[in-house]
Structure 1
Amino acid sequence: MSSQSPSRPSIIQQEQYYFAYGSNLRLDQMARRCPGSKYIGRASLLDYLWQINERGYANIVKSEGDWVEGLVYELSGEDEKRLDRNEGVAGECYSKEYKSLQLYRASEVLHCRPVPWIVKKGGPAKVLLDAQQVGESVEEQKETTEHDVLVYISSRYVTEGDPWEEYIERINLGVADAADLGVSEGFIQRFIRPYIPPAKQVPAKHTAYRPQQEADVNGRRLKSAPGARPAENTAESHPSRSVPLEEALE
């Protein structure tokens, strides 16, 4: 499958599919960042590799034979603008690319549901459980190839790095939601866990990741910084950052 179409004219359309692979796997974060977003399904992007880069955040790099699993949301034009700010597009932390990927649309109980609605109902696992209990189908729809899906990728920061401690928690919460929605355990263990240790504990509705957190995983050091790491100190504490902490948090 081709993953071409790296760029398009910078015209924000009314609706745009977006592939999340980092902290935006967490639905309640997406609900806050992009209140008009809708959940579409899970997806796989071929010939790319998941990494934590030198800035301490998730990124994907070209790697033949590898793949990245994630979630696809539909964005409104306003939500896309918000996400551009969050991802630090203006500061060149991430660029906007458009890829072809394998899409597995969610079952009818979740497909095209507003993300804030899913969160309000208790999260994806709760919505699926409630549907099963009343006899509704929770089976995904058949795989399709979807083109021109927005992906935020850093071609500037591609060196492997260590995650910020605060980022580990957010990724683990995202991993829990993604696992509930069908992202494979094999992908999580093979590509994410070498960088991100499992959470000590996760919300009660999730049970997949409860082992004790280790000081490092496969020899990788975990970044730490004093206090809450206020936004005004991030550029100084990590020279490669050019935008505040609350931006560029894929």
Structure 2
Amino acid sequence: MALSATPTLYFAYGSNLRRCPGSNYIGIALLTGWKWFINTCGYANVKWSTGDVVYGMIYTLTPEDEAKLDQFEGVPKDYIKQTLCVEFLGEREGGKMIQALVYTDVERLNEGPPKTEYITRINRAVDDARQEGIPQEYVDKYIRPFIPADILRN
């Protein structure tokens, strides 16, 4: 499969971006009608859910970084790649709907406890996201039921 020469817009809702040195942060976006949770494998996932939302960070991915994420996410066995419509919440283009790559696990849709090693990574991602403007109310409602805030971070 040939890699695209153009960057991909990527909606990150978990901890992946530390694996993508060529990615550029663009801004915050909202995926409406989906819900963030930890699945039975112990990792973040999103599933369709009326009345819920998922906040995420939009990045551009180089073809090389996208290929790395595909491998890390176990595409197509563990996660699949979907292009979904998200609402960009950036200052200049707030409210604009854009298409973005979202990794989802469509097989494991039940909730479960997080992997111990994953807690610190998600807390780091939450810290980054909060600095960029993701609301604390969202973190409290969706992430904190799965990921405790008081885990010692390295």
Instruction: Quickly name the TM-score band, shorter chain normalised.
Output: over 0.9
Instruction: For 1:194-233, list aligned pairs within 5 A.
Output: 194-202=145-153
Instruction: For 1:96-175, list aligned pairs within 5 A.
Output: 96-105=81-90, 140-175=91-126
Partner of residue 110, structure 1: none
Partner of residue 43, structure 1: 29
TM-score by length of 2: 0.92
1:79 aligns with 2:30: no
- The answer (yes or no) to whether the contact 1:169–1:199 under 8 Å persists in 2 is no
Query: What SS does the aligned partner of 2:110 have?
Result: coil
CA-to-aligned-CA distance 1:134-185 (integer Å, 9 cap, x gap) = xxxxxx3341333320000010111111101110111001100000001110
- The answer (yes or no) to whether the contact 2:120–2:153 under 8 Å persists in 1 is no
Structure 1 letter corresponding to 2:95? T
Partner of residue 211, structure 1: none
Q: Structure 2, unaligned stretches of length 5 or more?
A: none
CA-to-aligned-CA distance 1:41-96 (integer Å, 9 cap, x gap) = 01110000111000000000100010000101001111111110111104x11000
1:69 aligns with 2:69: no
- The percentage of counterpart residues that share the same residue type is 42
The whole-number CA distance in structure 2 between the counterparts of 1:12 and 1:192 is: 34
Deviation at 1:202, TM superposition (A): 5.0
TM-score by length of 1: 0.58
Deviation at 1:36, TM superposition (A): 1.2
Structure 1 letter corresponding to 2:13? Y
Q: Structure 1, unaligned stretches of length 5 or more?
A: 1-9, 106-139, 204-250
- Among candidates 101, 119, 132, match of residue 181 of structure 1: 132
Question: In structure 2, do the counterparts of structure 1 residues 11 and 151 end up closer, same or farther at CA, with 3 Å as the change threshold?
Answer: farther
1:23 aligns with 2:8: no
Query: What SS does the aligned partner of 1:89 have?
Result: coil
Query: What SS does the aligned partner of 1:143 have?
Result: coil
Query: What SS does the aligned partner of 1:168 have?
Result: helix
- The answer (yes or no) to whether the contact 2:119–2:151 under 8 Å persists in 1 is no
The whole-number CA distance in structure 2 between the counterparts of 1:55 and 1:200 is: 20
